[in-house]
Structure 1
Amino acid sequence: MSKGSLSRLYQEKLKTAEQAVNALPRDSQLVTFGCYCGTPPNLTQAFCTAVSNKFFSGIPDVYLLRSREEVVKQFTNVEVLSRIRMLCPFLGAGFRQLADKAKELHKTHPDLIVPQFLPEHFSLYARGVFTRHGKPDVHMLQVSPMDEHGYFSFGADGSMSIPLALEAAQIIVEVNPKMPRTFGAGILHISQIAAITEHESELMVLPQREPSPEDQQIARLVADLVQDNACIQLGIGAVPNEVGRLLKTRNDLGIHTEVLGDTLLELIEAGNVSNRYKQLNVGHSVFNIALFSKPSYYDFLDNNPTMLCHPAEYVNNPHIIAQNDNTVSVNSFVEIDLFGQVASESVNWRQISGSGGQLDFSRGAFLSKGGIAVLAAHSTAKNNSISKVVPRLNNIVTTPRNDVHYVVTEHGCVDLFGLSTCDRAQALIKLAAPKFRDELREEAHKMTLY
């Protein structure tokens, strides 16, 4: 298409957010949104207004992943929660508050539908939606401005947004000039889009906290496991951030990661990342979500051909992860028991986050030639009053014991692979805080692990 034709088509499809939402079929059954930076704030507001005004003839399922707090708050209206069935595959702080408020409101508003959690591996979320709910009637997302060839970019959000959009009956985009244009699978041609809206807003940021002495000790132990030429995946939090800072003495690292955060970007800018020793996507850093603490960091991604944004079904696929040699995966946990079972998404059976990509990357890294999977955390919680190393899990299992490789706390590092049940228990007790070790040994004897 010529530039003139593209410009005319753009103007034909350009609508206000209200016009775009009000053109949807009233009998829509499944509405999905972009995730993280990809959630369109103006379109979500227009959607919530339409729901409140009883626009839809039924009760549509609404799929919303982790998003900015102000976006999540748009769904707290009783009129909204009474007329949609919200499905949340990841419960961040905002969604936990939304779910808690919905449960409280349900006491006085019995018609209100409490948001439901979808447990699934990150690599399989989109497949789970298609299997249980079918294809979306509409997918709404935030994109970068159209280029001269008529393409929009998903920018900082590949996650499930790419497959959901490509299977949806309609796609509505919210063009944000602050969304970077990235390369990879996340592109849409104007011919694929039903309606275009425009709205400038700040991208989602994730504040960082200063590392504690325990964070720094754990990070040192983890960083010692990472050699030159390794292909790395780092999770979110103080420990992975500190690990990234310590890797500035390494050379020719590769990146294949679920979340591209501050420290990975800083490693790229410092020259520690070349991606030259990867077996897959050589010369490119691969991610499915970019989430930074500073808005300016997103600028680095814009029109940078070395940065590839792909969906979770690709990035988090263990068989894809395993194709890069020397993959090192680093994630955190809430609790680990003496059998090696790991809980990373709940506290006392209460869901606090999601399964995410921990098991995907643990399995992929373990299958990688020379690869290792690391799970790291403080040995205690609540001002050292609770041990994170426990006799038996009192939580939902995120990573089964047979998939747990290296475990690190501030008290040491242990490789569980190949250890007997008894040896595992003894090794894990050494990772616990000293004041809890005698009690753990007692419990281990009772369970005949010693």
Structure 2
Amino acid sequence: MTLTEQLTELARQAKAASRALGLLSTAEKNACLLAMAEALEAGEADLLEANAEDMALATAQGLRPAMLDRLRLDSARIRAMARGLREVAALPDPVGRVLEERVRPNGLRLQKVSVPIGVIVIIYEARPNVTADAAGLCFKSGNATILRGGREAQRSNECIARLMVSAGQAALGPRFPAHAIQVVPTPDREAIPILLSLTSYVDLCIPRGGEGLIRAVADCSKVPVIKHYKGVCHVYVDGEADPDMAEQIVLNAKCQRPAVCNAMETLLVDRRIAPSFLPRIGRALAQRKVQLRADPEALQALQPLQRELAMELRPASEQDWYTEYNDLILNVRVVDGVQAAVEHINHYGSAHSDAIVTSNEATARQFLAGVDSAAVYWNASTRFTDGGEFGMGAEIGISTDKVGARGPMGLEELTSYKWIGFGQGQLRT
């Protein structure tokens, strides 16, 4: 069987499974998810054995330490995957909700009802926990999922999926659609464009990973792709900001977890307070080993600290303003008020997450209305752009698209809708 034939069969099976999955009740889906959680914990030995093989191969191939850490499974991470499935089971079912209802003058009653999307392909890198998270979210929302993780996690991913499917079959017997959760069985890169050309079977693709992966997927896909390319996030400290609050928000946005997509990459400071605030925040950032790349005005204000604290400081290049560092590196620019901050963010940002710190409501409203991003904040850190922090439970990704889902994607974002009409013989005239 050729690779194209193999993947076509995989997708065909997923489409059939999605139709069967859409008929399961909430109680049946939850019973399966709880059984899957138990199976992951009970299958710890098998999971650790599969993961050890992946780790050994990845280490031999020179995978970076940060990627090895993402790949590694241990007892705590397995328990966290199981806990995530239980949390999804506890969430309200997003399928079957009446979103809108209207009665026409002729008596025809119309309902707009949430329904599963169908078959969702998830493409991601070396994080086996995504296998359980994505499969669980898709299952609860009535979608069949095809999982294509990185080649370095192939054995771990296959083991997770196998345990989840076996648990579902044990819980529901023949009513469980066995192909609702599938892992692409080959690490061949050619599998991705083939899979994403199967528009008769695949309804949506969600890539999770770095900008290079996401762009490659978006460029080759013939099915819709929900994505964000990168997180170039900003905090603007306004001239009427509380300096203590501003300092804490900046430090949280940059330093709590610098490698994530909702971490701040550029700090904008109102010219009115730059002479007092920049030395203060520069000192706090230097204590946390943050490298600064500054425009001429900020550079001048920060240079005394460079000499005093041996802080790493250099002029910012034009490319720096577009860069997602995922590291303890921060751009700093002085701007002339809120409108200049909005213009900078809309020009250089990635439409992900941006924040203003100010005590002036009118200024905040101008910022919130003017910044064209998926999430904007007033007096809060950009780090809150997360499904869990938004109260969605687990998250399958973050979208910066404007059509369809935008921002953190939870269960509701994994549904579509259809119109249902209830008549008594009405005819259109």
Please state which structure has a larger fraction of its residues in helix. 2
Higher relative contact order (CA 8 A, sep 6+): 2
The TM-score normalised by the length of structure 1 is 0.28
How does the TM-score come out when normalised to structure 2?
0.29
Structure showing greater radius of gyration is 2
